[in-house]
Structure 1
Amino acid sequence: MLDAIDAALAERPPMTPWALRDVAPAAGMTPAGLIKRFGSKDALLLALARRWIQSIPDGPTRPGDDLAELRAYLDTHFAAPSAAAAVSGLSALMRDLGSPAAASLLREGWSKQARYLAALLDHLPLRPDVDPHRASLTLLDALHGSLYRRAVELDPTPPTRTLDDLLEGWT
């Protein structure tokens, strides 16, 4: 059900307000059914955030192919197809940071992402003075910054290019 709701939200034009009645058909439910199931639109968004956290791997899933796995993960999770999509994502982020419950889930998710990225980086031939955990945080910072630049169409950088640029200094 959450997959269907997430897909319906992704198909909507960026920055377009939505209501439960807009995503209920994708879930095969009525808006009242969604309220009964989740309690509110905000609770539905928190359920989607928890689902995102669960989708982050705990460690490498393709041992021996860590760079390819890292590149695929970044392309899947950090590429904004358009400036409007980046703006929409950043707008949702700002809204989430204003909610203590959503901000807590962001902290949990970003921590899990950092651990996963560090585990992948740890298997790459990094210089001895490069700490994989600190490098994973730098990578996350750079990727989020790339989304800001994508939002204003300032020399958009694909996530894998950001990774390649950082790896140039780390290897």
Structure 2
Amino acid sequence: MVRPRRLEDDELLARIVTALEQRTERTPWSLADVAPAAGIGPAALIKRFGSKAGLLQALTRRWVDLIPDSDPIDGADARSQLRAYVAREFGAESAPGAIHALSEVVGELSDPALAELLAEGWARQARWLGRLLAGMGLPNLHDPVVGGEMLLDALHGSLFRSAVGLEQTSPLITLDRFLEMWK
């Protein structure tokens, strides 16, 4: 008889994301590192996702699916939505957190399936950022789509600077610099 799953995949993946975000080590993580936070053992993670690569694919798919892909909410302040999104998605709390995020991306780029998911996610992110920028009516922003792509590139750069301990430019400062340019 098969035992029922106690946790749905989304809740399990959310717990793993939280555990990964809270890591302070600069070393790669293993299933054994995240399993306790997920509330299951490493063997159960393997059974559920097949491998660390399978878990990464599930985590990346979840991330892509959580990126908004519609017009900003009617009546909502586009600037507030943009600031909240940037703070949430690019606000690594520490250099080790930024290193973790970047090392995962580099690892994912070497796997064709994960690289395809990243490409999908980055394109979706750039579109969302562009939609928010378009809603702000910035007079010097001539193409919101290009603006979204440029902002996304700069936000990734903020993570790199944080990871290596250069000037700590928060993602919100990066955003404010772009908005000032486009004003």
* Distance in 1 of aligned mates of 2:160 and 2:175: 16
Query: Is contact 1:62–1:69 with CA below 8 Å preserved after alignment?
Result: no
Query: Is contact 2:32–2:42 with CA below 8 Å preserved after alignment?
Result: yes
Query: Residue by residue, what CA displacement relative to the aligned partner does 1:121-154 show, whole Å, maximum 9, x if unpaired?
Result: 1111222661000000010111111111112222
Query: Is contact 2:32–2:41 with CA below 8 Å preserved after alignment?
Result: yes
Alignment pair present for 1:13 and 2:24: yes
Equivalent of 2:96, from 69, 80, 84? 84
Alignment pair present for 1:136 and 2:145: no
* Distance in 1 of aligned mates of 2:62 and 2:141: 35
Query: Residue by residue, what CA displacement relative to the aligned partner does 1:47-97 show, whole Å, maximum 9, x if unpaired?
Result: 000000111112324633110010011011111222222222221111111
Q: What letter matches 2:37 in structure 1?
A: A
Paired residues for 1:16-165 under 5 Å: 16-59=27-70, 60-61=72-73, 63-127=75-139, 130-165=142-177
Q: Secondary structure at the residue paired with 2:139?
A: coil
Q: How many positions carry a matched residue from both structures?
A: 171
Unaligned runs of 5+ in 1: none
Q: TM-score, normalised by structure 2?
A: 0.86
Q: Residues 88, 129 of structure 1: CA spacing in aligned structure 2 closer, same or farther, 3 A cutoff?
A: closer
Q: Secondary structure at the residue paired with 2:93?
A: coil
Q: Residues 17, 142 of structure 1: CA spacing in aligned structure 2 closer, same or farther, 3 A cutoff?
A: closer
Query: Is contact 1:56–1:113 with CA below 8 Å preserved after alignment?
Result: yes
Q: Shift in Å at residue 116 of structure 1?
A: 0.7
Q: Shift in Å at residue 28 of structure 1?
A: 2.8
Query: Is contact 1:20–1:31 with CA below 8 Å preserved after alignment?
Result: yes
Q: CA RMSD in A?
A: 1.7
Q: What letter matches 1:161 in structure 2?
A: I
Identity of aligned residues (%): 51
